[in-house]
């Protein structure tokens, strides 16, 4: 690791902002820190949380060596789990830790299951998708609880876990309204409302479980033979520590230090509207799966071109209308859309909208309204007329 890489890693992991540091007092913190470094080490607590160190504030005048030592100490403490055990030793960026702590820190503990997708949709909402299959090396992105469990039916191979803020009442009403089977099941020390829906095949029914946990509404969903088989899988949901949760994330999750570089790479080969600023991409500050980050990047560019096209049509500015149409006509060759096409249909939707620009018509309806809903332009910060 180079000095520059080390500096960037420490910067990303540093929880002490300059603004916060300006309000801290030097002498007291420096004396405490030096005393702690000189003291004999105390035995680690046998149980319970790591004791919280209470200190008054520390001023920005603290020397660089003291500040760097404090960062290392905080990083080491952050890698301990709630039982006081040392974590894997991985140095996580502050934004990754924030993502983990904004989640319920819940994983599937059934053998052979792994996280294949993770996405933070907002500060309060997120999703994990799990798949049963050959597990990658444990240190990369797999988690398996050692507690013996009932074998999971072979026809259950994928599942998802969503979390969101707010109350559970409206979600319960919505799910129960379309359920053919409604029951309950224990999970994570609480009770889940389990609903099985119509359709599917005899070995693969769509089933969900809704429950409140850690101040959030959680929804676990999987295809299973029946509600009883689903409950077996549901019972393997386990609360884990931050380090274990982050270690389970797939490689497709874009890490914080790589985000700007990744976005710039995604914009390669994409014609950009005049004045486009990658910093305006909404959701780019969230921890995202690469596919979803690609949708935010390509969608923001596409929506901005569609807005210019729509504004130009309204102003009868044929030159600007042709410019926007020509720019989006190249969408089928954008490298990021070619990559995403291997995983989902988002590229097809954007390309189809682009092909309809010369007529401005979408199956008898105005194209602009369909683009707004189809690409989610409003959520991307682009207001189409």
pLDDT in tens, 321-342: 999 999 999 999 999 999 999 8
384 found inside a domain:
no
Q: Which residue has the tokens 């660089």?
A: 64
pLDDT at 122: 78
User: What's the CA angle centered on 159, arms 145 and 107, to 5 degrees?
Assistant: 30
Same domain? For 134 and 47 the reply is no
pLDDT greater than 90 at residue 367: yes
65 found inside a domain:
yes
What confidence tens digit (pLDDT) does each residue in 289-330 have?
788 889 999 999 999 999 999 999 999 999 999 999 999 999
What confidence tens digit (pLDDT) does each residue in 239-253 have?
999 889 988 888 777
198 found inside a domain:
yes
Same domain? For 280 and 371 the reply is yes
381 found inside a domain:
no
* 260, 295, 303, 304, 376 from 276: Cα distances, Å: 15, 16, 12, 8, 18
pLDDT at 259: 79
Instruction: With 0.75 as the threshold, say if the pTM is over it.
Output: no
120, β-bridge pairs:
126
320 found inside a domain:
yes
Same domain? For 279 and 323 the reply is yes
Same domain? For 153 and 114 the reply is yes
Looking at 247, 282, 305, which one is the last position of a domain? Answer: 247
137 found inside a domain:
yes
Same domain? For 125 and 180 the reply is yes
Tokens matching residue 83: 């039982």
| 130 CB-near residues (< 8 Å, 6+ apart) | 108, 113, 114, 115, 116, 158, 159, 160, 161
Same domain? For 20 and 73 the reply is yes
Same domain? For 223 and 277 the reply is no
Per the CB < 8 A criterion, the answer to whether 160 and 220 are in contact is yes
Looking at 247, 282, 309, which one is the last position of a domain? Answer: 247
User: What's the CA angle centered on 215, arms 211 and 217, to 5 degrees?
Assistant: 35
Tokens matching residue 108: 């599937």
Domain enclosing residue 75, as ranges? 3-91
Residue 106 has φ and ψ, to the nearest 5°, of -120, 135
Same domain? For 82 and 119 the reply is no
104 found inside a domain:
yes
Same domain? For 284 and 366 the reply is yes
Per the CB < 8 A criterion, the answer to whether 247 and 139 are in contact is yes
63-77, 166-180, 240-254, 292-306: least confidently modelled range: 63-77
Residue 224 has φ and ψ, to the nearest 5°, of -145, 165
Per the CB < 8 A criterion, the answer to whether 122 and 232 are in contact is no
Q: How far apart are CA 194 and CA 151, in angstroms?
A: 20
pLDDT at 98: 79
Same domain? For 65 and 139 the reply is no
- How many Å from the N-terminal Cα to the C-terminal Cα in the chain? 50
CATH of residue 141: 3.40.1000
Q: How far apart are CA 22 and CA 17, in angstroms?
A: 9
Same domain? For 160 and 187 the reply is yes
Percent helix, strand and coil across the chain, each to the nearest 5: 40, 20, 40
Looking at 212, 247, 282, which one is the last position of a domain? Answer: 247
pLDDT at 120: 77
The domain total for the chain is 3
Polymer length of the chain: 385
* 31, 40, 98, 144, 234 from 238: Cα distances, Å: 42, 37, 20, 10, 10
pLDDT at 312: 95
Longest dimension (CA), the chain: 79
Residue 270: CB atoms within 10 Å: 19
182, β-bridge pairs:
195
328 found inside a domain:
yes
Among the listed residues 43, 42, 48, 54, the one whose alpha carbon sits nearest the alpha carbon of residue 84: 48
What confidence tens digit (pLDDT) does each residue in 105-114 have?
999 998 889 9
pLDDT greater than 90 at residue 237: yes
Same domain? For 108 and 221 the reply is yes
pLDDT greater than 50 at residue 366: yes
């Amino acid at each position: 690791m180079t000095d520059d890489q080390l500096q960037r890693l420490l910067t990303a992991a540093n929880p002490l902002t300059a603004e916060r540091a300006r309000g801290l007092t030097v002498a007291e913190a420096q004396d405490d820190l030096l005393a702690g470094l000189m003291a004999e080490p105390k035995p680690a607590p046998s149980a319970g949380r790591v004791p919280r160190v209470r200190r008054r504030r520390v001023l920005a005048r603290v020397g660089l060596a003291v500040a760097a030592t404090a960062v290392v100490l905080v990083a080491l403490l952050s890698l301990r789990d709630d039982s006081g055990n040392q974590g894997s030793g991985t140095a996580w960026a502050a934004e990754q830790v924030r993502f983990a702590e904004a989640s319920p820190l819940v994983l599937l503990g059934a053998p052979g299951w792994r996280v294949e997708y993770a996405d933070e949709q907002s500060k309060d909402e997120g999703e994990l998708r799990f798949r049963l299959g050959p597990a990658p090396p444990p240190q990369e992105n797999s988690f398996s609880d050692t507690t013996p469990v009932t074998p999971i039916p072979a026809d259950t191979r994928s599942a998802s876990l969503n979390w969101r803020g707010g109350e559970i009442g409206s979600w319960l009403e919505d799910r129960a309204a379309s359920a053919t089977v409604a029951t309950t099941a224990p999970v994570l020390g609480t009770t889940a409302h389990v609903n099985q829906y119509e359709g599917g095949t005899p070995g693969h029914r769509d089933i969900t479980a809704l429950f409140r946990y850690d101040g959030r509404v959680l929804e676990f969903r999987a295809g299973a033979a029946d509600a009883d088989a689903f409950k077996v899988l549901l019972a393997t949901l386990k609360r884990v520590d931050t380090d274990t949760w982050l270690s389970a994330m797939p490689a497709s999750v874009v890490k914080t230090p790589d985000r700007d570089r990744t976005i710039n790479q995604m914009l390669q080969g994409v014609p950009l509207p005049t004045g486009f600023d990658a910093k305006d991409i909404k959701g780019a500050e969230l921890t995202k799966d690469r596919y979803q980050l690609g949708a935010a990047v390509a969608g923001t560019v596409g929506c901005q071109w569609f807005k210019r096209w729509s504004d130009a049509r309204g102003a009868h500015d044929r030159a600007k209308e042709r410019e926007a149409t020509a720019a989006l006509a190249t969408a089928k060759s954008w490298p990021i859309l070619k990559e995403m096409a291997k995983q989902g249909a988002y590229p097809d939707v954007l390309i189809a909208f682009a092909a309809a620009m010369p007529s401005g018509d979408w199956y008898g309806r105005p194209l602009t309204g369909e683009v707004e809903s189809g690409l989610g332009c409003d959520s991307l910060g682009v207001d189409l007329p």
